[in-house]
Structure 1
């Protein structure tokens, strides 16, 4: 099929239907009648040889072929839009906008205080909003422009994204001050015999700790399992449990909750923490400025000298 065979307006309609999943909503947004939307969709179906959308509960549901087209069509339209609407300049002191960043609860503790402090000084008109990748489809939200950046251990963000490594996150052992382990060498036997608080943080990649331990047959006495890191400080402060957590989180929790951290008796693989952004905002001046601020604040010295590592912007990588 040649590009001349497809009307650009049909691709715009396709993108709106992918996002809204309701013909009536798309008709209103595009100032069309519902029969007009249906006729345009029928034309695109004939061109592409696929139903694209079928009726479902409360609207329409995309076919597998439509899902495979969604990201490349979105990228192509975004590139065309950016080319036709170039930015005339970005002044952080004058701009007023809300930036949305995808991050975990760990990220909110580690990154937000310093980032908010910097923005209040360098870009007072920028407000921050955060979302969890477990509560939204982060890949789609970034592709469609509702999330500007993501920070963390996010292996699910692949094709269509750029990434910059900020640092490698080590894991440490964290427990309350005065714990029996505080005054003695932390041996593997002592670590295994202690009662553990384990965090199962779905979708963040930090589950690699448990996977690594299981592959090597390392057993530990799990007393409590929780789904997020926000309660770790409170729990450790009042119990004899210990937890294996990312080092930068441990450093933030140690003083407020009277906790001690120790190197683990067995070295776990470090977790690569990345700054990620979608190809659609790669050339956006505001996004580029914010990326630079995040890199200046959080990238370690080796990452500062390393060239940006880029993921190929193609589906399925």
Structure 2
């Protein structure tokens, strides 16, 4: 039976004749020499392309991108057994295991990581110059788009909703995941593609990563809508004396510019409640005498759905910058680039006019 020929998807480059051979009976990550099928040390056959199956390169690219056999198969439109068979052939061609088992799926070896850039470059030329223009440069997002935040306060509803909306415009079937990575080696997670984007307070200096400024965030405070406090009376002394609801962050070394400003004044807040989500902080403030502090974009969303009044934050804190960082080799991936551009546009649109005192005359008694 001749190999399939289907140019309707990017994975068509992966339809190779070996797909119709018998798949190996062994686990694709356990067996043969040193536990890797297809990896049989042989004398070099030379660098001739006649001895190299170029049709396997899209499979290698997908495995490097997804770090998971089933996700790579889904991305390519192939069966998992066919991808396993291709991996065995790749190991034979490159004389290297290429991938080893890890906690999250499979992890590339040093040689596989070295191959990532030249493989992406070679396939990029083919897609741009040979494949029809309507498919050139297209790269599937996959079943999940995973974002990391190094500061818990950054995982607010405005950023999450902007990212979700940007993702939906590209792929309605892709799930969005946000996770706190402040205590993790998130740069390695980007390199291994466990993460697609990381949001941090500063750009990454690493040569294989790329960062872009997204926005400066300003602070506002919020209290319940019928609070007796007036905007004119909301001084820093009054702020510090009030009971606060805050996010219960896992680490004490927060880079929040608000905390830095308070530390510079030797000021400390009285913590009345600690919660684990932004919404619960707003909910607690709407039903108590606690005051909450957060980014203006997030508070704008809280105030639309909860009985809250927004006030200027009296602490002279610098705006909190937000950068997003990604793997440099993904800079020109069509879908990834569109998501970055769109989420930046949407997040910059989110905002609240100047904080205002919309308080009516306070009730005579409570």
TM-score, normalised with respect to structure 1: 0.63
How far the C-alpha of 1:266 sits from its partner, in A, is: 2.8
What is the correspondence of 1:1-317 to structure 2 with a 5 Å cutoff? 28-29=28-29, 32-34=32-34, 76-86=114-124, 87=127, 89-90=136-137, 97-103=143-149, 106-107=154-155, 109-120=157-168, 122-134=169-181, 137-150=185-198, 152-155=199-202, 157-159=204-206, 160-182=208-230, 184-202=232-250, 205=254, 207-299=256-348
Per-residue deviation, residues 8-65 of structure 1 (Å, max 9, x unmatched): xxxxxxxxxxxxxxxxxxx94386432779x99xxxxxxxxxxxxxxxxxx99xxxxx
d(CA) in 1 for partners of 2:247, 2:188 = 26
How far the C-alpha of 1:253 sits from its partner, in A, is: 0.7
8 Å contact from structure 2 (residues 164, 176) kept in 1: no
Aligned to 1:172, what secondary structure does the other structure show?
strand
Aligned to 1:217, what secondary structure does the other structure show?
coil
Gaps of 5+ in 1: 1-26, 41-58, 61-69, 302-317
d(CA) in 2 for partners of 1:262, 1:231 = 19
8 Å contact from structure 1 (residues 90, 285) kept in 2: yes
Closer, same or farther in 2 for the Cα pair 1:72/1:91, shift >3 Å? Answer: closer
8 Å contact from structure 1 (residues 105, 228) kept in 2: no
The Cα RMSD (Å) is 3.8
Aligned to 2:302, what secondary structure does the other structure show?
helix
Closer, same or farther in 2 for the Cα pair 1:298/1:117, shift >3 Å? Answer: closer
Please say which of residues 233-242 and 174-183 is displaced more in the overlay. Answer: 174-183
How far the C-alpha of 1:274 sits from its partner, in A, is: 1.8
d(CA) in 1 for partners of 2:275, 2:204 = 25
Higher relative contact order (CA 8 A, sep 6+): 1
d(CA) in 2 for partners of 1:232, 1:180 = 20
Question: Quick check: which has more Rg, 1 or 2?
Answer: 2
Aligned to 2:9: none
d(CA) in 2 for partners of 1:177, 1:198 = 19
How far the C-alpha of 1:288 sits from its partner, in A, is: 1.5
d(CA) in 1 for partners of 2:109, 2:313 = 42
Closer, same or farther in 2 for the Cα pair 1:32/1:223, shift >3 Å? Answer: same
8 Å contact from structure 2 (residues 220, 312) kept in 1: yes
TM-score, normalised with respect to structure 2: 0.56
d(CA) in 1 for partners of 2:156, 2:237 = 33
Per-residue deviation, residues 117-156 of structure 1 (Å, max 9, x unmatched): 4554x43445132131348643222111122223x33559
Per-residue deviation, residues 79-125 of structure 1 (Å, max 9, x unmatched): 12211322452569x987542223457545113434444554x4344
Closer, same or farther in 2 for the Cα pair 1:110/1:254, shift >3 Å? Answer: same
Closer, same or farther in 2 for the Cα pair 1:172/1:281, shift >3 Å? Answer: same
d(CA) in 1 for partners of 2:329, 2:209 = 9
Aligned to 1:22: none
Aligned to 1:21: none
Per-residue deviation, residues 260-296 of structure 1 (Å, max 9, x unmatched): 1111223211110122211231232221122122232
Gaps of 5+ in 2: 1-26, 41-100, 103-107, 128-134, 351-366
